[in-house]
Structure 1
């Protein structure tokens, strides 16, 4: 008796269509939730978001589990767009410093475009201090700082000497903290004549990362 031929089971077309429907519905809900948070503010409740989306709160819970799940899902979409913007910006840079400025500028632009959405996806729910927010958990910023640190490796080795390799490894993590903390403080600061615009703030952060704030550095000088 010859070997029995294995027959690949047919794909359940109904199951595939249902999965596509769920994915499309999920994207629609994230888009509607993002629009609602942009309009209502970062403290919008699940009930407010569902009402603005023209559906019910149980629908959002069915797709995202809870508010933290919605924050994570929305954060992934925001971060994907932020990544694309950063890649486009960095691709045009010819030097490490230009690349760093382009990346920081793209980050600030995306955050400034909707402060409420940015705050919604980066703020942890009460009682979830052990978790990471969407940006931290994704590692998205880390990817770009690693790319920039590779560009800066040669001049950093020349400047730092024998200790360069160890210190270069610390730089991306330190840079992420600098950009996020300075950027979020700038974003939350009220408008005033003394508040730098987005391009100026990106320039300051870039200088702090590259040369510090010591007297005589560009970052320590007032713009003309």
Structure 2
């Protein structure tokens, strides 16, 4: 029986017959399996794992990964889409169960830190760029692709309750603050992830509450007037 190769294209403009549809379904399932295997490998091996190391851990060859993902940046993107989709669902569920805008912010920050902290290696893998990519694109993968869309969605999740809570006439705040908030959450969260474990390092809940307090009231309560003179 003749079986088309893994990258066999469906004829443009033609009807998709049963065999082509089955093969496409098989290819998509295989791609999902490879993403899961890559995620497990990176979790164990670290964010700097090579395509060859990831393929070996997955029990296949790196040529298979190149066939499905093109290059390492493509694999990063695919793993990122899977991880961030899961993270976004968790954050959306947290927002929907919140009783106030501040509680909603805390729930989102907590969900973000929990998911990122569950596997710092995987988080680092999907937010870093391949050598030479930054020079070509002018930015790293963290500001584009899956992660960029993810933070855009989070920004919108923050803006919606703010809009209903603050009412009309606050578009200047609603337009800028969510974007600034995302920057604070992400940078503080990534620094927290990178901080070695020690008695001085806050736990996940404490860090989430601190970030939420910074977002809602800033650092003013911790500063004395004399310090500003």
Q: TM-score range by the shorter chain?
A: 0.7 to 0.9
Equivalent residue number for residue 198 of structure 2:
192
Once the two structures are overlaid, the 10-residue window that deviates more, 142-151 or 181-190, is 142-151
Q: Is the 8 A contact 1:72 1:134 kept in 2?
A: no
Equivalent residue number for residue 25 of structure 2:
20
Question: 5 Å matches for 1:179-218?
Answer: 179-216=185-222
Q: How many residues align?
A: 205
Q: 1:193 to 1:10 in 2, by over 3 A?
A: closer
Equivalent residue number for residue 140 of structure 1:
150
TM-superposed deviation, 1:124:
1.0
TM-score by length of structure 1 reads 0.85
TM-superposed deviation, 1:53:
0.3
TM-superposed deviation, 1:91:
1.2
TM-score by length of structure 2 reads 0.84
Instruction: Measure the CA separation in 1 of the matches of 2:101 and 2:89.
Output: 19
TM-superposed deviation, 1:166:
1.6
Q: Is the 8 A contact 2:109 2:185 kept in 1?
A: yes
1:94 partnered with 2:102: no
1:111 partnered with 2:116: yes
Equivalent residue number for residue 30 of structure 1:
35
User: Tell me, what secondary structure is at the counterpart of 1:193?
Assistant: coil
User: Tell me, what secondary structure is at the counterpart of 1:94?
Assistant: coil
Instruction: Measure the CA separation in 2 of the matches of 1:97 and 1:66.
Output: 41
Instruction: Measure the CA separation in 1 of the matches of 2:150 and 2:100.
Output: 21
1:69 partnered with 2:74: yes
Instruction: Measure the CA separation in 1 of the matches of 2:126 and 2:15.
Output: 41
Equivalent residue number for residue 221 of structure 1:
none
Instruction: Measure the CA separation in 2 of the matches of 1:79 and 1:38.
Output: 15
Match for residue 172 of structure 2 among 166, 174, 182 = 166
Once the two structures are overlaid, the 10-residue window that deviates more, 167-176 or 28-37, is 167-176
Instruction: Measure the CA separation in 1 of the matches of 2:23 and 2:16.
Output: 13
Instruction: Measure the CA separation in 2 of the matches of 1:31 and 1:103.
Output: 25
Structure 1 gaps of 5+ residues are: 1-8, 218-224
Q: CA RMSD in A?
A: 1.9
Larger Rg computed on CA atoms: 1
User: Tell me, what secondary structure is at the counterpart of 1:215?
Assistant: helix
Equivalent residue number for residue 3 of structure 2:
none
Equivalent residue number for residue 181 of structure 2:
175
